[in-house]
Chain A
Amino acid sequence: MFTPDPDYVPFCGMPPLPAELMARWTLDPALLAGLALALALGLWRVPAGGGARASFISGWGLTAIAFVSPICALSMALFSARVGQHLLLTLVAAPLIAHALDGRRVPPMGGAIVFSGFFWFWHLPTPYQTTLQSDAIYWAMHLTLLGSAIVFWSALFGRMDRQPISGFLSAILVGAQMSALSAILVFSTGLWHDWHRAVTAPYGLSAMADQALAGGLMWVFGSLLFVGAIGLMVVRLVARAESRAGIGHATSPR
């Protein structure tokens, strides 16, 4: 069993006060090295042209922002910031990166189930608590969450034009589980994560309000991002099919 170390400082540091927040950049050498490595790997593997590279670089950029910028520190004070960070990573950065990858080998439903599993697991009280007690677990969380999100999105994009049905079912699963988790958070009567109990007040929020905000963000902002990605995907799919089939411009003979 894991015993917490009382002197341990989480990866993103101790909860900041609002005044010091903007100075709290995370310039951890290991993090920067990891990001640089990921960028190099991506530039090497992702073919230039067709927008794939641009998409990868923007996804990578957002990932970097999510960790290096004060979002990281803020997420130590506010659970809602933490949720915002997760949404940014899994619903914006991940689809952008996935867009640049070839996901035709993974079944979308498998990707959806794995991603949903991680998504629930890491937001439950005990696992969440442990990410604040060890760097290794913290990174295990982010890598599994972001990784499974990338796998899910790339499987969805890669298989959609051949298996639209399982593609849609997997999207439905991901959307539904996210709404359910956020609804449960919003309507919760108790605090899930003790860590945030005493640190939200400087931001003008009670811990419960912060938690409700986190649920609301996941619900609203999450659906908006998710649905936006799905909508763009459909527009692109139809446009591709149209240009393939050379759909003409009919007019009534009358």
Chain B
Amino acid sequence: MSATAEHQTYTGALKGEPNKSFEEIWAQPRGIRSLTSVSHRVVGKRFIVTGFIFFLIAGLLALGVRTQLIVPGNTFLDLQTYNQFFTMHGTLMMFLFAIPILEGFGVYFLPLMLGARDLIFPRLGAFGYFCYLFGGIIVLSSFLFDAAPESGWFMYTPLTTKEYTPGLSADFWLIGITFAEIASVTAAVELIAAILCARAPGMSLTKMPIFGWYILITAFMIAIGFPPLIIGSVLLESQRLLGLPFFDAAFGGDPLLWQHLFWIFGHPEVYIIFLPAAGFVSTMLPTFVGKPIFGYGFLVAAIVTMGFISFGLWAHHMYATGISPVSLSLFSAASTMVAIPTGIQIFCFIATLAQGRPRFTTPMLFVFGFLFIFVLGGLTGVMLASVPFNFQVHDTYFVVAHLHYVLIGGMVFPLFGAFYYWVPHFTGRMMSETLGKWVFWLMFIGFNTTFFLMHVTGLRGMPRRVATYPEDIGWDRLNMLSSIGSYILAAGIALFVIDFFRHLRSGEPAGRNPWGAGTMEWFYPTVAPGYNFRAIPPVRSREPLWDQPELNEDPAAVGGVLRAYPDHRRETVGCDPLSGEPLHIARLPHPTWVPLFTAFAIAVMFGSLLVSAYWVTAGAFVAMMAGFTAWAWEPSDSGVTRDAGLGYRLPVDKADRRSHTYIAVIGTLLILGALYFSLVFGVLYLWNTFPDFAARIARPDPLMAGGAIAAAVLMAVGAMAAKWLSMRDRFLTAALTGVVTAALGAATAGLLYLAIADIDRNATALGATAWAIVAYVGVLMFIAIWWALFNALRKLTGRTRPGQHVADFNFSPFAKGVALFAATTGALLLAAQGALP
């Protein structure tokens, strides 16, 4: 059959399920097959439940810590176990509870609020969840091997190098957490694309519920903030495994480089945790006040500026590392800067409250708890920003108190409020208001008893991370009370868990929109069907359920786009990122094993790395690549147009700069760029701090470096040419151009390798970092080559039909991005060649 003849018979959906009804197409797989589910409703719930379990485990560890400290000279935990407990407590709370559970809420609620049937990359969501789960299991399993990490949640070098932490404990941390972070960054890309590209018709960015803005900026921050830690972890792990001297001062490395990379991540992390929680608050407040949020535009600006500022402040975690006094005072001033956007948000919340008469429901109590505790945490933060004070209380319980005021006040209280608020959406039943108030007061009183007193303990000089303390130096009673407080706090959390299980059976049915909210997640009576919207209604307001009376009628009958489903596929409407006008029909995947398989392959890869079974690693790598290939191989539906209702006729999966796939490529490049930038920062930092070592390394070969730049440029041109040809349906020449592009990619990587081949990577940290950069570019090139060949293969095997251009359209920016990194590397090598003596 010739290509054109096939085009005419091509109906537009090779994977449609023609004998299924709409409900059946969207039905969740049951039993063991539920592992194939890709629905955001399932994945979001899994994130939330798993995150909560990690919270409970980390909470139990904290109770262990508090029990050990209840009396002086206690022997409940030995020293090593104590170290493991507080390290794992901090690690689980920060990496495996806070971020994933907040992302889970985003994953679950955003499509509902924005008017989409699913998140825009359902398989990516499922994949991210499994990565997170396996990463978490790897970290937790260290307890079984009696190798739990014990170096504190920030894993400072040199303590964590092989010399001072032999055994596997640090490896468990580095590998498991890196794996879980992959989940976080994939979820970030997915959330960015979903928020920008899949909203109800007419929902412009400025009509988006404020929660969407909070998650959007948070996702950007994750995409930029996590890469430095990923790079740091990879460098540290390769120092431990391969002996490369990145952080070893004897070879011109710098333990402080780890601190930089960690805190470039660690400071924004605090805001990454705070922002979504503030998003909960600004969603719940209007509901209970009955008025829209005050100062939408100021809130958006505050969120954006907070995102920017948070990346410039990491040095304030390093006051005690010998920064010059002038700079110290500047950082000190700067650290108070973040009070401005925070203050704007708090004032907007208070102004919203002042607009009406708030209803004092349990979620509202938690909102008040948040305001109270978080503001206090902010005050101690301002105190800590002052340098002399900071020196005084550095590494004491004052810091522990401060960080828990910020984290528990800023995140845990809004989270529990959000549980009470949204639980009816998950289960269709209300939790108890009476018990809820008990939960609140127990948590509130318990929390303040535990942590308020810790300020005093800290001022009296008790250092953090000590397993015990002597009697009669003024710490006994405070510690005793703190420990009792922590039991009260725990009782509150336990009561919440009890209430949750109770309500599953005997909670009052919630019905439709139980709190009278204005946002779209309450459009259906609880529990909403898995497809979210039978037809996707146009939205004209930030509080559609308040302003658009038609939305309060029978939800299955409300008019909207995509009521018809001619191709029997899962689909949702893709929109213009700015105006929200429908742009195309986005086809969504049906349940599949691929995400689980691929994530499992990666887990085996990391796990085998941990026990140095490199053959298994290689096998798992092949399995992973097979998984990704199967993922991408699925036939494309693009190249046709369909009636979408309401007078729209839309293309399917359009190749467009505004489509979700293109935006996702850009988002991915942002992450890759941040990884690259972190490495370059490492090189410049080491070079600048230890210039004598720079003098010792061999010069890179300028000819090869120049050649690499040229090859990279040609590769970018090749990718653009392939796109140009493919857009004109000239598939054979496009495929051949793709093969040439791949070859140029290989040449670029090879030339970069030759340029640095003379540099000894074991002799200096700088040399090792140069190798790391080239290795990283090599990995990116590998992906680009794979993608180019994949596109070519699909065209050569007739899997690409006329009018189907998405793959080449999206490959082009990726190839250009990778070529840019490669060319920059070449230029850096040339510059180094010139600058070296």
Contact = CB atoms under 8 A, between A and B. Distances in A.
Contacts, number: 159
Closest 6 CB pairs of A and B: A238-B297, A252-B290, A216-B330, A220-B334, A216-B327, A223-B312
A184 B684 contact: yes
Chain B, interface residues (CB within 8 Å), range: 35 or more
23 contacts: A164-B578, A172-B224, A175-B312, A176-B677, A180-B684, A184-B688, A190-B688, A212-B327, A213-B330, A215-B327, A216-B326, A216-B331, A220-B331, A220-B337, A223-B334, A224-B334, A232-B301, A234-B297, A235-B297, A235-B301, A242-B297, A251-B292, A252-B546
Contacts of B743: none
A247 B685 contact: no
Interface string B673-701: 00001000100110011110000000000
B296 A238 contact: yes
B407 to A, nearest CB: 24
A137 B542 CA distance: 54
Main SS at interface, chain B: helix
B300 interface: yes
Nearest to B667: A165
Contact of B333 (A212, A220, A235, A245): A220
B337 A224 contact: yes
B205 interface: yes
A226 interface: yes
A213 B327 contact: yes
Contacts of B8: none
B326 A209 contact: yes
Contact of A183 (B260, B333, B546): B260
A219 B326 contact: no
A235 B325 CA distance: 36
Contact of B301 (A180, A190, A212, A231): A231
A188 B684 CA distance: 10
A165 to B, nearest CB: 7
Contact of A251 (B542, B546, B685): B546
A251 B670 CA distance: 39
A251 B547 CA distance: 8
Given A161-B578, A250-B546, A220 B296 contact: no
A230 interface: yes
Nearest to A235: B301
B207 interface: yes
Interface string A160-180: 011011001101100110011
Contacts of A223: 308-309, 312, 334, 337
A232 B309 CA distance: 14
Given A212-B324, A247-B207, A254-B290, A184 B685 contact: yes
Interface string A205-220: 1001100110111011
Interface residues on A, range: 35 or more
A205 B298 CA distance: 41
B689 A187 contact: yes
A141 B360 CA distance: 61
Nearest to A161: B578
B309 A227 contact: yes
A239 interface: yes
A252 B290 CA distance: 5
B689 A188 contact: yes
Nearest to B305: A231
B683 to A, nearest CB: 10
A187 B328 CA distance: 11
Contacts of B206: 238, 241-242, 245, 247
Given A212-B326, A220-B330, A250-B546, 12 more contacts: A187-B689, A212-B324, A213-B330, A219-B334, A230-B308, A231-B301, A231-B341, A232-B301, A241-B206, A242-B297, A250-B542, A254-B290
Contacts of A161: 578
